[in-house]
Amino acid sequence: MSISSDQAQHVRRNAVLVHAPEAVNAAVARVAGELNHALRDANPLVLCVMRGALVFAGQLLPQLDFPLEVDVVDVTRYGNTTQGGELVFRALGSVTPVAGRAVLLVDDILDEGVTLAALRDKLLEADAQRVWTAVFAVKDTGRIKPFTADFFGVTVPNRYVFGFGMDVHGYWRNLPAVYALNEG
């Protein structure tokens, strides 16, 4: 569902703050520190899951102090909706070869885990040596997920959240904080 700019403004004005910019920045710095320790000798290929992980990766990568290569994968279950659907791979064939490589998947949110589980499986099928996952947010759904992220920044409630790379109807990825849709 596409919405107008005015509707997007209304969504933002009525949203509930979940994580302020200071908490977001601290979480990114903490994840970077953990990655610097864990992957310092891995020479990984970092795959940014488009479009949601763009902001997280853009702030995370400059804080990593080990050699790495970067590429992107474009996959979605949401499009411009607030409900997950079928997994759509928009671009996977152009990714740097992963056979024999250590791979770090960077994504915006671990919600139900479907997208990251599918990506991890595809990378392992392509003979990646090891696959780590780093997500900015983990949604507390109260349900068991297909796997747990190796690294994560913040936990968010079981609500539709947006900001810091995560969108609502295609808008507000650019916010420096995380918000939840107003359920009222």
**Please, what sign has the CA dihedral across residues 151, 156, 108, 179?**
negative
Note if 111 is an active site residue.
yes
Give the type of residue at 70.
Answer: V
Given 6, 65, 108, 111, the catalytic residue = 111
Residue 11 to residues 24, 71, 162, 176, 180, Cα–Cα distance (Å): 21, 32, 10, 16, 10
Q: How many C-beta atoms lie closer than 10 Å to residue 155's C-beta?
A: 13
Distance CA 48, CA 108 (A): 9
Rama region for 100: left / alpha / beta (φ>0; ψ in -120 to 50; rest)? left
Active site residues per annotation: 111
